[in-house]
Structure 1
């Protein structure tokens, strides 16, 4: 195999690796975006749950009682 063929093979492999790196970077970006959205959703749900429990402190005592038909 001549030096020219080896150089061409190396350039082909380099191009393939650059494409792979770009593809992986795109995937990581999409995953990070999804993680950020899920974190925001979890934060909103926690705030909503805390607000619901603080608003219904008096009603919470009835939540654990058995219904009258038991």
Structure 2
């Protein structure tokens, strides 16, 4: 009985360590996601600011707008 209890305590300790490590990993990944989302927002704003005459989002575009200039 004592051996089983010791084994369970060891498993619990290892599981707690694993859960802590996974929590740290998830936390770091969330920080990275937040940073990437902010960078995407900034890039989107820059693109919008540099193309004021571009079609509004959701507006239909003509295929003629897509033809390269050498045609």
Q: TM-score range by the shorter chain?
A: 0.7 to 0.9
Pick the structure with greater CA Rg: 1
TM-score by length of 1: 0.76
Q: For 1:14, what is the secondary structure of its paired residue?
A: helix
Higher normalized contact order (CA 8 Å, seq sep 6+, divided by chain length): 1
Q: TM-score, normalised by structure 2?
A: 0.75
> C-alpha root-mean-square deviation of aligned residues, in Å?
1.5
Mark the runs of 5 or more structure 2 residues left unpaired by the alignment: 54-64
**Any runs of at least 4 consecutive aligned residues in structure 1 with deviations exceeding 6 A, and if so which?**
none
How many residue pairs get matched?
Answer: 58
Partner of 2:7: 9
Q: Choose between structure 1 and 2: higher helix proportion.
A: 1
Q: Residues of 2 paired with 1:66 and 1:16: CA distance?
A: 64
